[in-house]
Amino acid sequence: MRSGAGGPRPSEIGPRLKIPTLSYGDSLPSEHTRLCWTDDIAPQHNLLALPLPGPIEKFALCVRMSTAEVQNVIIIGAGIIGCTIAYYLTEDPAYKDSNIKITIIEASAKGCSQGASGKSGGLVAKWAYPKNLVNVSFPEHVRLAEKHNGAERWGWRFVGCGNWEGRGEDVGPDAEKQMEPERRRSLEKTVGLGDDWKKRSRADKGLPDDLDWVNEELTDSYSQMAPKGHTAQVQPYLFTRNMLELAKEQGAQFVPGKVTSINIDSNAKSVTGVTYTDIKTGQQETISATHVVLAAGPWSSKLIPALPINATRAHSITIIPEAGYSISPYVLFTDVTFPDESPLGNNSVSPEVYARPNNEWYCCGTGDNLDLPETVDQVEVDQSICENIYQQVVGISSKMRHGKVDRRQACYLPTISAGGDPVVGEATTLAKGLIIATGHTCWGISNAPGTGKAVAEQILHGKITCANLNNLSPARFL
Ligand SMILES: Cc1cc2nc3c(=O)[nH]c(=O)nc-3n(C[C@H](O)[C@H](O)[C@H](O)COP(=O)(O)OP(=O)(O)OC[C@H]3O[C@@H](n4cnc5c(N)ncnc54)[C@H](O)[C@@H]3O)c2cc1C
Reply yes or no on whether the pLDDT at 65 is more than 60.
Answer: no
Residue 180: its pLDDT value, please?
Answer: 40
Query: Domain for residue 62, yes or no?
Result: yes
pLDDT tens column, 336-380: 999 877 777 667 899 999 999 999 999 999 899 999 999 999 999
112 and 64 in one domain?
A: no
Judge if the beta carbon of residue 115 lies within 6 A of ligand 1: yes
252 and 394 part of one domain: no
Amino acid at the residue 232: A
Instruction: State in Å: Cα 296 to ligand 1 middle.
Output: 8
Residue 211 falls within a domain, yes or no? yes
pLDDT at residue number 53: 56
Residue 345, pLDDT score = 60
Write the CA distances from 35 to 9, 31, 38, 58, 328, integer angstroms: 14, 12, 9, 10, 57
The closest residue, in CA terms, to atom 22 on ligand 1 is 444
Ordered DSSP codes for 210-269: T--SS-GGGEEEEEE-S-TTSEEE--HHHHHHHHHHHHHHTT-EEEEEEEEEEEEETTTT
Same domain, 64 and 75: no
Residue ID of nearest Cα to ligand 1 atom 31: 79
Same domain? For 184 and 196 the reply is yes
The pLDDT score that the predictor gives to residue 231 is 97
Looking at the structure, tell me whether residues 272 and 396 fall in a common domain. Answer: no
- Within a domain: residue 150? no
pLDDT (average), residues 323-339: 96
> How confident is the model at residue 130, as a pLDDT?
97
Q: Is the CB of 293 under 6 A from ligand 1?
A: no
Torsion of CA 277, 282, 287, 293, to 10 degrees: -30
* The pLDDT of residue 414: 95
Tell me the CA–centroid distance for residue 314 and ligand 1, in Å: 11
Query: CA 457 to CA 468: how far, in whole Å?
Result: 12
ipTM, two decimals: 0.99
**78 Cβ inside 6 Å of ligand 1:** yes
Domain count within the chain: 3
* Whether residue 259 is found in the same domain as residue 406: no
Ligand 1: atom nearest CA of 443 is 11
Are 243 and 135 contained in the same domain? yes
Q: Is the pLDDT of residue 120 over 80?
A: yes
CB of residue 80 inside a 6 A radius of ligand 1 = yes
Measured in angstroms, how far is the CA atom of residue 427 from the centroid of ligand 1? 21
Q: Which residue has the higher pLDDT, 344 or 68?
A: 344
Q: What pLDDT does residue 23 have?
A: 54
117 lines ligand 1 (CB under 6 A): yes
The residue range of the domain holding 44 is 1-69
Mean pLDDT throughout 132-141?
A: 98
Within a domain: residue 218?
A: yes
Cα 196 to ligand 1 centroid, rounded to whole Å: 47
Q: What DSSP designation does 65 have? A: P
Q: 69, 97, 121 — which closes off a domain?
A: 69
Nearest residue (by CA) to ligand 1, atom 14, is 442
DSSP 301-352: HHHSTTS-EEEEEEEEEEEEPPTT-----EEEEEEEE--TTSTT-SSEE--E
pLDDT, residue 41, reads: 53
The larger pLDDT score, comparing residue 189 to residue 315, is at 315
- The closest of 355, 328, 327, 347 to 388, measured between CA atoms, is 347
Provide the pLDDT for residue 52: 57
How far is the CA of 162 from the CAs of 155, 170, 325, 329, 351, in angstroms?
Answer: 20, 23, 21, 11, 13
pLDDT of the residue at 58: 60
Report pLDDT for 341: 75
Whether 151 is covered by a domain: the verdict is no
CATH classification of the domain holding 293: 3.50.50.60
**End position of a domain, from candidates 416, 434, 455:** 416
Question: Which has more pLDDT, 418 or 233?
Answer: 233
82 CB near ligand 1 (under 6 Å): yes
454/41: higher pLDDT: 454
What distance in Å separates the CA atoms of residue 418 and residue 422, rounded to the nearest whole number?
10
Residues 130 and 36 in one domain: no
Are both 89 and 27 inside the same structural domain? no
Looking at the structure, do residues 136 and 239 belong to the same domain, yes or no?
yes
